């Protein structure tokens, strides 16, 4: 046992430590608390939040689901893949393929018709949706004034005839970045009049004038993603986004330019019901949406929402058939389908040309 003098000396040392660095005591306390956690509790801390963590009195699901075989893809590699990567780096361009950790990047960036989905306005978003791995900040870096020209230069060198432009949300800008997106579309069509351009855009906080700026710049396909069913909107998306606001954005794009193909996307596997999926599809058709993609949500990191269930390829096929029966001109539905997916570009291009009478 310690003598009385030893105890006094120990207390003096702790007091001096606290004066010199108050965080010392707090740090020791936190370490002690962490050491007292059980093995199961430590695993839960490391596992990240799940959808149920945002629901009061929700039943907690079992351990993290294992990735099924149909969602496993090879690690991307190859000469064309590396060439595409170098080209984008040299022009200081970002892609949603990399930022969103798309599982199809190896397929889309390889082969003679290699293509990428360019992500405009930087790599930092002003929103923080719980499914998305893109960086977030209330004050992202300023726009690159050379980005429209650099994007057009990169796209002009591709052998394909279809390009997808997407962007981060930029609520910090007066027009949400609509003018920047429109300038990029115009520059691409100036260099490549034969190019079909798809724009996957934000909701611009519901401002019709911003949507008009993009639509009137000339894209043949205008996409905005509903992302999930109505009941899960506030849990999955940033609070600035709403179900009705997204539907209104798509509706206004169609009214502004009836010839433009409007498109949207839904993620499955977040706990939605079949009736809710069907209702979302009906709502999209009611505002004139003609193209729809449905894909499996995959948790990008442990910090994001957990997958509630893995939808089978057979179930996705069923949703594709139901979508076509509802009147969608184009439906892509599968575990690996994403809103911008190379395999779907050929079909969308055919739809555009059919509408134009080519």
Question: Which amino acids are annotated as binding site for [4Fe-4S] cluster, given as ranges?
Answer: 97, 102, 108, 125, 129, 132, 340
Residues 158 and 189: beta-carbon distance below 8 Å: no
* Helix ranges, the chain (H): 4-20, 23-35, 39-47, 79-90, 96-99, 105-108, 147-156, 178-191, 208-215, 233-236, 243-256, 274-286, 313-325, 342-356
* 287, two tokens: 């505002």
Please, what is the Cα angle at 117 between 114 and 121, to 5 degrees? 140
Please give the Cα distance from 103 to 71 (Å, whole number).
8
Q: Give SS3 for 291.
A: strand
Residues 223 and 198: beta-carbon distance below 8 Å: yes
* 13, two tokens: 């040392």
Q: Which residues are annotated as a binding site?
A: 97, 102, 108, 125, 129, 132, 340
């Amino acid at each position: 046992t310690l003598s009385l003098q030893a105890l006094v000396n120990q207390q003096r040392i702790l007091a001096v430590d606290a004066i010199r660095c108050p965080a010392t005591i707090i740090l020791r306390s936190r370490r002690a608390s962490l050491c007292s956690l059980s093995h199961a509790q430590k695993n839960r801390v490391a596992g990240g939040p799940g959808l149920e963590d945002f629901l009061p009195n929700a039943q907690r699901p079992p351990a993290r689901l294992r990735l099924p075989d149909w969602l496993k893809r090879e690690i991307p590699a190859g000469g064309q893949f590396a060439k595409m990567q170098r080209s984008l780096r040299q022009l200081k361009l970002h892609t949603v393929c990399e930022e969103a950790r798309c599982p199809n990047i190896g397929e889309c960036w390889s082969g003679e018709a290699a293509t990428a989905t360019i992500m405009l306005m930087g790599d930092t978003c002003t929103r923080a949706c719980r499914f998305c791995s893109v960086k977030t900040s209330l004050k992202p870096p300023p726009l690159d004034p050379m980005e429209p020209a650099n994007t057009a230069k990169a796209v002009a060198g591709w052998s394909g005839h279809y390009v997808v432009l997407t962007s981060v949300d930029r609520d910090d800008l007066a027009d949400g970045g609509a003018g920047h997106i429109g300038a990029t579309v115009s520059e691409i069509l100036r260099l490549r009049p034969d190019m079909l351009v798809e724009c996957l855009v934000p909701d611009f906080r519901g401002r019709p004038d911003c949507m008009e700026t993009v639509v009137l710049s000339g894209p043949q396909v205008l996409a905005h993603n509903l992302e999930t069913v109505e009941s899960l909107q506030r849990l999955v998306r940033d609070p600035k986004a709403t179900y009705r606001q997204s539907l209104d954005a798509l509706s206004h794009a169609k009214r502004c330019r009836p010839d433009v193909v409007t498109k949207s996307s839904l993620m499955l596997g977040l706990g939605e019901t079949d009736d809710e999926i069907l209702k979302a599809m009906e709502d999209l058709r009611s505002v004139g949406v003609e193209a729809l993609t449905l894909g499996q949500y995959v948790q990008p990191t442990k910090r994001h929402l957990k997958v509630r269930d893995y939808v089978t390829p057979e179930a996705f096929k069923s949703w594709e058939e139901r979508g076509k029966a509802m009147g969608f001109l184009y439906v892509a539905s599968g575990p690996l389908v994403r809103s911008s997916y190379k395999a779907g570009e050929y079909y969308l291009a055919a739809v555009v040309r059919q509408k134009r009478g080519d």
